[in-house]
Structure 1
Amino acid sequence: MVSEVSGRQVLDASDFAMLLENCSSAYGDYGENESDSCCTSPPCPQDLSLNFDRAFLPALYSLLFLLGLLGNGAVAAVLLSQRAALSSTDTFLLHLAVADALLVMTLPLWAVDAAIQWVFGSGLCKVAGALFNINFYAGALLLACISFDRYLSIVHATQLYRRGPRARVALTCVVVWGLCLLFALPDFIFLSAHHDERLKATHCEYSFPQVGRTALRLLQLVAGFLLPLLVMAYCYARILAVLLLSRGQRRLRAMRLVVVVVVAFALCWTPYYLVVLVDTLMDLGALARHCGRESHVDVAKSVTSGLGYMHCCLNPLLYAFVGIKFRERMWMLLVRLGCPGQRALQRQQPSSFRRDSSWSETTEASFSGL
């Protein structure tokens, strides 16, 4: 999301002599056959990626902002309306909705950055970048917490949060948010509003050497993607093994849901991290760098990052709206806000309404003995 100032490779004497010999014009004068010979070393023209970002990112971020804020806001409102009866999974879901909502709230700032330039100053650059990454890490780690909680309850019939649930759930959430704050320290330190003389624009960018950029990418890859994905894959694989041995439509629905959970997370974020891996290999010299490839990688990062942020909008659908109890609670909230048919719907409220988790048939089945 945040622009990176890595200072692409520095030209040594021989590279500089070759550049002078083969390139007779400035950045914008590359011909079709000149690009490969002139751009084996940076800097490269960024017209393609910049024009694409100006056209693509503002519209995408605006759409994700609206959908993510509405969806996650609805989840948070429903769960808070029943906060006295929240289960451990509901509590993790509430924190997940807050993390996703805060993340998408930063997207309008990045839309302005992509469309024009960063006009908000270095202070807001640091805060917005840190807020974005804190909630990015929190979303992934909270998904892992939900997976582990369900794994214990279904596979081992162990309720980690059933005794003293409030204290244990609260402690887990504090640890998650604390780790995310720690992971976001580079944003507070190295992010700033940087004026690029070549582009004649100011952008919110990192200002650290190549080794710092590579280390930050590895941290995001491991803590924000690989570790949560491995936890989810293992937990849900064991859950599926248990559910396949049982019968009944409710358990079959739960089985489909847990498959969708892992697949959605993997499909949304895997393309982005594959592109980041290619870009990192180019920075390290493992892959040859030239202007054409660099431009295509920059465009691919914009497209795949947008796909990843779309996961924030999918979370309310995957973790809430497919749950019977959640739909009942949301309907009752709308009724209390003045929708027609209030008395009839209140009479139809099930007796088990306050005892079950609100978000999925899997959690219901694990406690009901079906």
Structure 2
Amino acid sequence: MSERQEFQASDFAYLLENSSYDYGENETYFCCTSPPCPQDFSLNFDRTFLPVLYSLLFVLGLLGNGIVAVVLLSQRAALSSTDTFLLHLAVADALLVLTLPLWAVDAAIQWVFGSGLCKVAGALFNINFYAGALLLACISFDRYLSIVHATQLYRRGPPTRVALTCVAVWGLCLLFALPDFIFLSSHHDNRLNATHCQYNFPQEGHTALRILQLVAGFLLPLLVMAYCYARILAVLLVSRGQRRLRAMRLVVVVVVAFALCWTPYHLVVLVDTLMDLGALARNCGRESSVDIAKSVTSGMGYMHCCLNPLLYAFVGVKFRERMWVLLVRLGCPDQRCHQRQPSASRRESSWSETTEASYSGL
């Protein structure tokens, strides 16, 4: 009898030592049939890749969007509706890249900034993610009305109309970011033995947020841009002319750049969501591949913040003139240096030849 009791005790100890039960703080169920997949490879990839990428995007995005904001603010009295949207877009992109150093530290080491900054950084990131996409949709709709219908919605309306539109966009983005303020927190992951900024709600809530980001932050703005620019292209092709052909090339680049930068990321997130819902089989190899793909494609999406100053401002004739005026003023305050400056007194947009075409008979 004593030998049997001794055997049972030793056998029980052996089972305890070799069981795959996870004693995490939030785990209330016993699961030993499907142990968590090892994440060593994807974590090592993130520690190496993300800090370098985020640091580079932080410098380029802050510099490019800062230049755009300074140039536009230097001509505040002559800003058109599109210029105003561009200014808010530059602010949104700059604020988004400002959060990247925090996420770089999170990827390289762990989250060391506490739950308060976790909520603020997560909400700030998502507010400006949504704002960037929605402001691009506003710009495309403004150009659509101007070129296709010859309607100057903001140019001929009350001066506060464009400001109210921007306030509505920022308010909507703030509403979308409320879950970040509520559910984001600094959480210690026992399995990874590290603290990270994570959502603290069930998987269903995480899936709902992903769907919201996909629809409101990508699909709807992309559909608006695609429709507006398709109609713009149709008008420009009928009107022909070298200036209009230059505008046609630009609007194609605008849509393609947004789609190329963000489509891969949202496709990967869609695959990950389908695995969470059980529509796709989950295995350790696929899970690791999806984790790495999310890191790479999210970096591609954030690169769009650096491309925006090039696509929406630096290719614009009026923007280059305004930047030249500002540089001359900074480098040579003498009035003689201003005699050969290009004129920037007309209320025309820094957008590109598209705007010039819209004001010249379309």
TM-score (norm 1): 0.88
Deviations 1:13-40 (A, max 9, x none): xxxxxxx99xx6879xxxxxxxxxx998
Aligned to 1:86: 79
Unaligned runs of 5+ in 1: 1-19, 28-37
Say which SS state the counterpart of residue 365 (structure 1) adopts. helix
- How has the CA–CA distance of structure 1 residues 351 and 59 changed in structure 2, closer, same or farther, with 3 Å as cutoff? closer
- Find 2:212's aligned residue among 209, 216, 219: 219
Per-residue deviation at 1:166? Answer: 2.4
Aligned to 1:95: 88
Say which SS state the counterpart of residue 198 (structure 2) adopts. strand
State the distance in 2 between where 1:257 and 1:270 align.
20
Per-residue deviation at 1:77? Answer: 0.2
Aligned to 1:297: 290
State the distance in 1 between where 2:106 and 2:335 align.
46
State the distance in 1 between where 2:249 and 2:102 align.
37
Aligned to 2:125: 132
- How has the CA–CA distance of structure 1 residues 274 and 79 changed in structure 2, closer, same or farther, with 3 Å as cutoff? same
State the distance in 2 between where 1:187 and 1:148 align.
29
Aligned to 1:348: 340
Aligned to 1:275: 268
Aligned to 1:172: 165
Say which SS state the counterpart of residue 305 (structure 1) adopts. helix
Task: Tell whether 2:331 aligns with 1:338.
Answer: yes
- How has the CA–CA distance of structure 1 residues 294 and 147 changed in structure 2, closer, same or farther, with 3 Å as cutoff? same
Aligned to 2:28: none
State the distance in 2 between where 1:349 and 1:248 align.
28
Is the Cα contact below 8 Å between 2:141 and 2:225 reproduced in 1? Answer: yes
- How has the CA–CA distance of structure 1 residues 340 and 162 changed in structure 2, closer, same or farther, with 3 Å as cutoff? closer
Aligned to 1:3: none
Say which SS state the counterpart of residue 337 (structure 1) adopts. helix
Is the Cα contact below 8 Å between 1:41 and 1:290 reproduced in 2? Answer: no
Aligned to 2:256: 263
- Find 2:57's aligned residue among 52, 60, 64: 64
Task: Tell whether 2:142 aligns with 1:156.
Answer: no
State the distance in 1 between where 2:125 and 2:261 align.
17
State the distance in 2 between where 1:328 and 1:351 align.
8
Task: Tell whether 2:361 aligns with 1:369.
Answer: yes
State the distance in 2 between where 1:342 and 1:196 align.
63
- How has the CA–CA distance of structure 1 residues 214 and 237 changed in structure 2, closer, same or farther, with 3 Å as cutoff? same
Is the Cα contact below 8 Å between 2:321 and 2:342 reproduced in 1? Answer: no
Is the Cα contact below 8 Å between 1:335 and 1:342 reproduced in 2? Answer: no
Aligned to 1:210: 203
TM-score (norm 2): 0.89
Is the Cα contact below 8 Å between 2:50 and 2:295 reproduced in 1? Answer: yes
State the distance in 2 between where 1:88 and 1:270 align.
28
Aligned to 2:104: 111
* AA of the residue aligned to 1:267: L
State the distance in 1 between where 2:95 and 2:139 align.
19
Say which SS state the counterpart of residue 331 (structure 2) adopts. coil
- Find 1:322's aligned residue among 315, 318, 324: 315
Aligned to 2:9: none
**Which structure is larger by alpha-carbon Rg, 1 or 2?**
2
Task: Tell whether 2:238 aligns with 1:245.
Answer: yes
Is the Cα contact below 8 Å between 2:325 and 2:342 reproduced in 1? Answer: no
Per-residue deviation at 1:42? Answer: 4.8
State the distance in 1 between where 2:91 and 2:335 align.
29
Deviations 1:178-214 (A, max 9, x none): 0000000000011000001111110001111111011
Aligned to 1:16: none
Following superposition of structure 1 onto structure 2, how do residues 26-65 of structure 1 map, counting pairs within 5 Å?
41-65=34-58
State the distance in 2 between where 1:241 and 1:271 align.
28
Is the Cα contact below 8 Å between 1:271 and 1:304 reproduced in 2? Answer: yes
State the distance in 2 between where 1:166 and 1:297 align.
48
Size of the aligned set, in residue pairs, is 339
Identity of paired residues, percent?
88
- Find 2:281's aligned residue among 276, 288, 293: 288
- How has the CA–CA distance of structure 1 residues 188 and 158 changed in structure 2, closer, same or farther, with 3 Å as cutoff? same
State the distance in 1 between where 2:35 and 2:213 align.
25
* AA of the residue aligned to 2:289: H
